[in-house]
Structure 1
């Protein structure tokens, strides 16, 4: 019966083809196809103005040059022209097939006029959160079992290593609305990182000191790699930025107390039940919007030739347009651009003059080299002219990080920015695009400019950084925040800090108010995780020294260690000290603790760590999925999806 039906279908197809006349050739379509083919040929041969070769990277020799010569013989312009004609003929044959469906091409960022038309529909400054034209937040995912209560673990119970049945995931809107896109081919990306923090022996080195970090760039960069079907470079993975990408529901500070509140928890380690994890969590105060000081923003925008890509300047324009809906009439915006030279595109303008600001953004085009030093200097001059008493003034640098004129060395740029920060002007950095992303320079600028570094890979990420978390990104509540933990050798034999490799400080830096550290913005939460080994644990990796000093019996026996924090009020030069003991007491692993632990494990797996033993992708995914909680914007379910994708790519 099936064979007869197949014959009938084929006969019907023949009759349909006989009736249909082939469409007339379309000269315009053929010309467009030819132009695109030749443009791609030029890009392949290196004549297009897109990606630039890194200044300090080899351009290729030997085998690579042989491949280029061989490919040149195969991909000549005449041969491409002939191939384009054949491809056009094939497309015409497909068109006449009844009911044939062509796959839709992947979406790219819309052209600037269309984007600005949508942004123009956003209500004026002072409008509510439901701004027209903004992305719709992802709906919270249902719990694993309908009506089931969130899973908790007792203080003396280890986080699970068993793997539950794989849940039926539905891709979050945030992930679905950002179509996969291959990464540009380039070898000039540079990332800021350092070797993993080593295991420390408490009796020899009991004090750990570091600067807090609220940057999120690393997580967004690794997400863009995974969505493009590639594992991220190991050096792009900074675990503290992965953990701190997510909001947590830590206890907020009470009225009349310091601007942030520390919380401590001690739980069993999921990958090693014989050790413990100590979570140090800080939650910043969120002032009411009406209590926010006036804000002066200078958008410093890279318009060099490398910014032509749709994921760079076009996305940048849309991202800044989204932010305007959250600014108030008393806030001011100026725009400075830099390419071959720097210039002021928009003089300081009240934030409620939206059409004027959007029009200035719309006029931006990419082209030329990258005069980064000149742009920074002009942006700081503009910011100093805008600054007023009691106001917050910030330069927001938007770039792919490729500085090739003026000062290009990250250390020299850092010194320039460090000099300017003393005037009270903050500097934040937003990265766009891949292929020549200079994350190392971006990190140096943000860390020395008292600001945050974020990477924008989609309009959804722009919504998160510049709209949902605008107060935390732009309004500081504590400067130069430092953390110091002194571990008790009578209780802790060994410890290691997970992440924060680029944020380490010397012990003497803690009390030195001239040493710069990280900032906490309004409503920000910060998490740091230590893995510690109790003195009587079989997981201990080092033996006691024969001639080592024995800790006195009963010395602070109820304490694992002592936490000290230092911070400065914005604009102040003298720090304030907060301290509290870390009790030697197992606590219940809350949802936030379990999820942040899973993300730490995610980072360790991406970095190829040898600290996890047999604990792997299945366990990390199960732990994260069981701790997603309400997740109103879908950030946590997206993380689980990325973990599953990373598992597949790592095989």
Structure 2
């Protein structure tokens, strides 16, 4: 291990880099000014004021002539007006070469019979990396590999019109609403939405951040190290007077290049000095970053390592089980881990997504300066400042009302039923202002379902029939910061919500459109021919830049499918 304050590399010293080609100027305005609850369901609240228009979006961070293929598995919700009716989307470029990107996709969630499996339990997920990564594929002329698509991350990339929490005693609001499914006349969609309370800048706890930067040879590409510098330079500009940033880098060896400071100029000069070269001692870098975080630990503050890499760990502690064990131990000591993925070709998304989950942090994929600003500036509070931890959702369906269901996405967040009440089981965290959305597709009792009736199936129990007014019981568990005992919130989705349901509108319609888009990309066989054009029509016209971009992505996907 090198002494702190000193850094050398087996494959050359750190040298001055070219001036950054990417700048954050011209990025879209911060998505804020969200609507408070006015009653009714989330999809029915309207009448918001239009926010001021942002400046035009910047050019993409890079313009590759080809991209590798893959092997292996705010309206008042935060809208901004786009400068024109067309969201910017880079020109399509056709991919030709095979690549070594790594994904570990799960099988699409199976249909469950309520009579035999009435309870669904999962950990919340606030990652967004799968959406940005899928966008990267689509805007460079390729359909993303199915294993790279996690529908819940696509849904949660966007903000929705959920009411603000009324009190900080309960750190988030819970919204449920129901609509008819746009792709199956016999099914309904049930949406569950959480929204965390917001904190003002002067209310933020102090942050002890360690930037852990991969400067190995694999990062020597315009869409990698230069973009990492842009992303972290933007975050440095958001620091308060009590925050501290350290910089650790790794290549053939690992070392500290910047002692803890909140001097934005020093941070940016240190970032500017870095260049790429050497192999990837990722494990050594991670261990050193944790050591630095521990040495500067802030009681009651945010203590986090922010890892920026293409995920190509090839020297040192590269065994995933060993990495996970180390990350979980540090998580339990109060140091969390965020992963930021960059680049193409050798991108190890499987590693990035999974270790962030074990580190109680979040995973994002950065493919442009605009995305860097969105993740590390506009959404910094929800990214860094946790307000509730170990958040779990459990839904029990009434077999007298609902006969079959499936959860859209969240395959790698599934928990056992007994995990819900077990406070020793780790789950997802929610940051300040964060939102979480989950969508179930359900079949009412007596309607045609995906699974034919069973010959020897029992009738619903007497208790279920006595509670015919209730369709589902939704429960949430969470822990406040510093607490080890969970608290419970529960609500009931009434049967009348299904009887009065219409096709989704407005905010709910957009969420359903994104869910459909993700499932189509995954090859979901239960979409009944619902295609990219249908998803685009369901989304409807949008004013928000990010939503406009989504509509453009449906067009790109439709064009590639048609070709």
TM-score, scaled relative to structure 1: 0.73
Is structure 2 residue 460 aligned with structure 1 residue 582? Answer: no
CA RMSD of aligned residues (A): 2.2
- Secondary structure at 2:186's aligned position in 1? strand
Q: Deviations over 1:445-491 (max 9, x none)?
A: 10000000000000010011001101011111111111111111111
**1:210 is matched with which residue?**
122
Structure 2 CA distance for partners of 1:405 and 1:318, relative to 1, 3 Å = same
- Whole-Å separation in 2 of the counterparts to 1:203 and 1:300: 49
Give the length in aligned residue pairs.
494
Is structure 2 residue 165 aligned with structure 1 residue 283? Answer: no
Structure 2 CA distance for partners of 1:418 and 1:259, relative to 1, 3 Å = same
**1:53 is matched with which residue?**
none
Q: 1:361 is matched with which residue: 263, 271, 277?
A: 271
- Structure 2 matches for 1:296-335, cutoff 5 A? 296-335=208-247
Structure 2 CA distance for partners of 1:329 and 1:245, relative to 1, 3 Å = same
Is structure 2 residue 148 aligned with structure 1 residue 236? Answer: yes
Q: Deviations over 1:348-384 (max 9, x none)?
A: 11x2x12211111111111111111111111011011
Q: 2:474 is matched with which residue: 563, 566, 569?
A: 563
- Whole-Å separation in 1 of the counterparts to 2:450 and 2:555: 32
Structure 2 CA distance for partners of 1:475 and 1:400, relative to 1, 3 Å = same
Is structure 2 residue 530 aligned with structure 1 residue 615? Answer: yes
**2:72 is matched with which residue?**
none
Q: 1:255 is matched with which residue: 164, 167, 178?
A: 167
Q: Deviations over 1:501-525 (max 9, x none)?
A: 1111111111111211111111011
Tell whether the 8 Å contact from 1:410 to 1:444 is kept in structure 2 after alignment. no
Structure 2 CA distance for partners of 1:617 and 1:409, relative to 1, 3 Å = same
How far apart are 1:412 and its partner, in Å?
A: 2.5
**1:531 is matched with which residue?**
441
Is structure 2 residue 15 aligned with structure 1 residue 136? Answer: no
Q: Deviations over 1:263-316 (max 9, x none)?
A: 000110000122110001101111111111111110000111100010000111
Is structure 2 residue 248 aligned with structure 1 residue 336? Answer: yes
Gapped regions of structure 2 (runs ≥ 5): 1-10, 32-42, 46-83
**1:435 is matched with which residue?**
345
Tell whether the 8 Å contact from 1:192 to 1:443 is kept in structure 2 after alignment. no
**1:295 is matched with which residue?**
207
How far apart are 1:256 and its partner, in Å?
A: 4.3
Tell whether the 8 Å contact from 2:250 to 2:280 is kept in structure 1 after alignment. yes
Q: Deviations over 1:36-69 (max 9, x none)?
A: xxxxxxxxxxxxx9xxxxxxxxxxxxxxxxxxxx
**1:43 is matched with which residue?**
none
- Secondary structure at 2:468's aligned position in 1? coil
- Secondary structure at 2:178's aligned position in 1? strand
How far apart are 1:139 and its partner, in Å?
A: 12
- Whole-Å separation in 2 of the counterparts to 1:203 and 1:413: 41
**2:258 is matched with which residue?**
346
**1:12 is matched with which residue?**
none
**1:14 is matched with which residue?**
none
Q: 1:114 is matched with which residue: 12, 15, 19?
A: 19
- Whole-Å separation in 1 of the counterparts to 2:30 and 2:481: 37
- Whole-Å separation in 2 of the counterparts to 1:427 and 1:455: 15
Is structure 2 residue 286 aligned with structure 1 residue 395? Answer: no
Tell whether the 8 Å contact from 2:27 to 2:373 is kept in structure 1 after alignment. no
Q: Deviations over 1:86-105 (max 9, x none)?
A: xxxxxxxxxxxxxxxxxxxx
- Secondary structure at 1:611's aligned position in 2? coil
Q: Deviations over 1:505-562 (max 9, x none)?
A: 1111111112111111110111000000001213453204525253226321111111
How far apart are 1:207 and its partner, in Å?
A: 0.6
- Whole-Å separation in 1 of the counterparts to 2:513 and 2:357: 26
Q: Deviations over 1:189-248 (max 9, x none)?
A: 111321000000000011101111010110011101011100000100100000000111
- Whole-Å separation in 1 of the counterparts to 2:301 and 2:387: 13
Is structure 2 residue 317 aligned with structure 1 residue 407? Answer: yes
Q: Which moved more, 1:446-455 or 1:509-518?
A: 509-518
**1:375 is matched with which residue?**
285
- Whole-Å separation in 1 of the counterparts to 2:239 and 2:98: 37
- Whole-Å separation in 1 of the counterparts to 2:185 and 2:271: 54
Q: Which moved more, 1:228-237 or 1:252-261?
A: 252-261
Tell whether the 8 Å contact from 2:168 to 2:197 is kept in structure 1 after alignment. no
Tell whether the 8 Å contact from 2:207 to 2:298 is kept in structure 1 after alignment. no
- Secondary structure at 1:266's aligned position in 2? strand
- Whole-Å separation in 1 of the counterparts to 2:266 and 2:163: 42
Instruction: Detail structure 1 runs of 4+ shifted over 4 Å in the superposition.
Output: 179-186
**1:645 is matched with which residue?**
556
Gapped regions of structure 1 (runs ≥ 5): 1-48, 50-110, 120-132, 141-151, 155-168
Q: Which moved more, 1:612-621 or 1:600-609?
A: 612-621
More helix by share: 1
Structure 2 CA distance for partners of 1:355 and 1:310, relative to 1, 3 Å = same
Q: 1:494 is matched with which residue: 404, 415, 434?
A: 404
Q: 2:368 is matched with which residue: 447, 452, 458?
A: 458
Give the greater-gyration-radius structure (CA).
1
How far apart are 1:183 and its partner, in Å?
A: 6.1
- Secondary structure at 2:289's aligned position in 1? helix
How far apart are 1:113 and its partner, in Å?
A: 4.1
Structure 2 CA distance for partners of 1:281 and 1:355, relative to 1, 3 Å = same
TM-score, scaled relative to structure 2: 0.84
- Secondary structure at 1:190's aligned position in 2? coil
- Whole-Å separation in 1 of the counterparts to 2:147 and 2:505: 30
Structure 2 CA distance for partners of 1:394 and 1:329, relative to 1, 3 Å = same
Is structure 2 residue 456 aligned with structure 1 residue 551? Answer: no
- Secondary structure at 2:338's aligned position in 1? strand
- Whole-Å separation in 1 of the counterparts to 2:533 and 2:93: 26
Structure 2 CA distance for partners of 1:529 and 1:134, relative to 1, 3 Å = same
